[in-house]
């Protein structure tokens, strides 16, 4: 079984990564502090561990990816987490993004459509002391209607359509952050806020590239 070691060298590399993210324009001290505390190398296959603190995405199980740190930081910054925010994450993946949200003091609920990946990540989170993150094996397109409404929702895969079912699970004045666009191209990081009387406000925050969000469970 893999050990959860986090040594001085890795902590030093993590501090360098945080400085890099500052230089790239991440301004939220809360987000940077949250990421500084997380041993990203433990969320990667050991084959990539040496490069864990480079600003790169890497493949993980089930043909998924762990996003590059800048993307994680930017999405987390846009989420503008307040303590005890009830947050739904679509796409648990490696669990790294969920841990960042948790360190920002959100109550995190995360869905993963791949059973193998869900189970492996759930085990990892418990081993790292993140057992309060609630994980679910299910279809992210459907959200978690029985646990709605949520203050905020984060989608960590590319959507080629507006996720109306998920928007319906937001509280009034809540918002959803997601990469919007065709999956064979870059997507626009999009924020939709649910205002009074069902009015939706849309904002855009630059281009990113994600794996596609797919329906169903596997």
Catalytically active residues, by annotation? 67
Q: How far apart are CA 15 and CA 154, in angstroms?
A: 26
Q: Which long-range contacts (CB under 8 A, 24 or more apart) does 50-58 make?
A: 52/10, 52/13, 53/10, 53/13, 53/14, 53/16, 53/17, 54/17, 55/17, 55/20, 55/21, 55/24
Shortest CA distance to 117 belongs to which of 127, 128, 125?
125
Element (H, E) at 36: helix 29-36
Taking CA 176 as the corner, what is the angle to CA 171 and CA 178, rounded to the nearest 5 degrees? 165
Cβ count near 180 (within 10 Å): 20
90, 150 contact by CB (below 8 A): no
Longest C-alpha distance within the chain, in Å? 53
């Amino acid at each position: 079984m893999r050990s959860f070691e986090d040594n001085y060298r890795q902590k030093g590399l993590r501090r360098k990564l945080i400085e890099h993210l500052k230089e790239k324009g991440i301004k939220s001290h809360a987000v940077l502090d949250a990421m500084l505390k997380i041993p990203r190398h433990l969320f990667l296959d050991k084959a990539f561990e040496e490069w864990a603190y480079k600003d790169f995405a890497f493949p993980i199980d089930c043909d998924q990816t762990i996003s590059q740190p800048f993307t994680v930081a930017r999405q987390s910054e846009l989420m503008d987490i307040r303590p005890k925010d009830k947050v739904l994450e679509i796409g648990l993946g490696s669990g790294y993004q969920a841990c960042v949200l948790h360190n920002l003091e959100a109550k995190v609920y995360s869905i993963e459509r791949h059973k193998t990946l869900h189970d492996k990540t759930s085990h990892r989170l418990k081993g790292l002391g993140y057992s309060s993150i609630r994980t679910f094996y299910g279809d992210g397109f459907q959200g978690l209607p029985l646990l709605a409404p949520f203050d905020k929702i984060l989608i960590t895969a590319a959507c080629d359509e507006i996720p109306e079912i998920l928007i319906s699970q937001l509280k009034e004045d809540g918002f959803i952050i997601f990469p919007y666009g065709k999956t064979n191209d870059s997507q626009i990081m999009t924020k939709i806020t649910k205002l009074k009387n069902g009015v939706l406000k849309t904002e855009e925050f630059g281009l990113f590239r994600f794996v596609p969000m797919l329906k169903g469970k596997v």
